[in-house]
């Protein structure tokens, strides 16, 4: 990999743009060599999120800011997150090695910004406990916007049918959701269930790690990027100057759709799209919102206020 290949990779999974040959390495073999990597606590910022909430946009802003090295959805971290309940594996050792590897930078003074996929949210506290210098953003989205982003695509509808039941393990301590079988829900209800489950995980993380994390709305980031980035970096003491943020928010690359850089997409076009989607899927949205209201309400935990 090079700096450019990291930046040009949409995500660090099967879509990774490597420079040549792919090398397969076993974690067990790497563990034998891990002692050569010095154990040190380096600053890392994690962008946790609920999916479809402008998390890729936030990662792209960090790519424009100096002193940050961005990793977008490294697959290995997600694999570790989903395997955390397996028996008879050295999970703690694998976790320690993975974080150690992913925390490396090209320049000694850079800070890693890591945007995992949403499977990693339940180990958010584990990530911050592991490194006292680590911080996190947790990106949420208004329920209606979240529902529309999924309802508009048959592929995403299929995704939520598969994803929602797997979130049940994360909400066993949530009384409003503990008795719900998400596999029996219609799509709008399944979206609402997943949104509430992610909100619960975010709330639990906020209770333990609130001084090292901020909760932000993806809509705020899209509509008021300058204010949102200023609030975020100031709240977590990330080394970014205000004039640099102003410059970054005016760059053409952030006026493109996150998954398709050939498609123009800014705050105004995002609002227009959502209005059109609501005309198409408004009935299903209202069904999901009503279900959410009956199962825990719509309040968010400790949201960062953007003005």
Domains identified in the chain and CATH numbers: 3-293 (3.40.50)
Residue 257: predicted pLDDT? 62
Q: Which range among 14-28, 90-104, 124-138, 253-267 shows the weakest confidence by mean pLDDT?
A: 253-267
pLDDT grade for 50, boundaries at 50, 70 and 90: very high
Comparing C-alpha atoms, which of 13, 24, 55, 41 is closest to residue 218?
55
Q: State the sign of the Cα–Cα–Cα–Cα dihedral 200, 201, 204, 209.
A: negative
pLDDT tens for residues 186-239?
A: 999 999 999 999 999 999 999 999 999 999 999 999 999 999 999 999 999 999
What percent of the chain clears pLDDT 70, i.e. is strictly above it?
95
β-pair type (44-49, 111-115): parallel
37 or 286, which is more confident?
Answer: 286
Question: What confidence score (pLDDT) does residue 9 get?
Answer: 87
pLDDT at 260 > cutoff 70:
no
Count of other CB atoms within 10 angstroms of residue 43 = 19
Please give the Cα distance from 247 to 132 (Å, whole number). 31
């Amino acid at each position: 990999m090079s700096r450019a290949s990291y930046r040009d990779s949409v995500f660090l999974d099967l879509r990774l743009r490597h420079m040549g040959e792919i090398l397969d390495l076993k974690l067990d073999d790497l563990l034998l060599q891990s002692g050569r990597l010095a154990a040190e606590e380096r600053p890392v910022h994690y962008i946790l999120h609920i999916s479809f909430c402008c998390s890729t946009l936030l990662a792209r802003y960090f790519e424009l800011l100096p002193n940050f090295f961005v990793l977008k959805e490294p697959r290995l971290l997600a694999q570790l997150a989903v395997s955390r309940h397996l028996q008879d594996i050295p999970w703690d050792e694998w976790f320690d090695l993975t974080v150690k590897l992913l925390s490396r930078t090209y320049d000694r003074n850079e800070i890693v910004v890591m945007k995992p996929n949403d499977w990693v949210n339940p180990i958010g506290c584990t990530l911050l406990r592991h490194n006292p210098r680590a911080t996190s953003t947790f990106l949420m989205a208004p329920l209606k916007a979240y529902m529309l982003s999924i309802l508009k695509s048959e592929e995403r509808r299929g995704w939520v049918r598969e994803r929602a039941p797997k979130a049940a393990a994360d909400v066993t301590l949530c009384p409003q959701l503990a008795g719900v079988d998400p596999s029996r829900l219609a799509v709008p209800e399944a979206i609402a269930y997943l949104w509430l489950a992610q909100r619960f995980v975010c709330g639990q993380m906020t209770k333990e790690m609130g001084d090292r994390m901020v909760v932000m709305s993806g809509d705020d980031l899209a509509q008021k990027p300058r204010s949102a980035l200023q609030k975020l970096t100031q709240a977590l003491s990330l080394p970014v100057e205000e004039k640099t943020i102003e410059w970054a928010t005016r760059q053409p690359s952030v006026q493109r759709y996150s998954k398709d850089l050939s498609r123009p997409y800014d705050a105004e076009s995002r609002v227009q799209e959502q209005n059109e989607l609501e005309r198409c899927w408004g009935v299903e949205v209202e069904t999901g919102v009503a279900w959410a209201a009956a199962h825990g309400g719509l309040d968010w935990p400790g949201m960062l206020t953007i003005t």
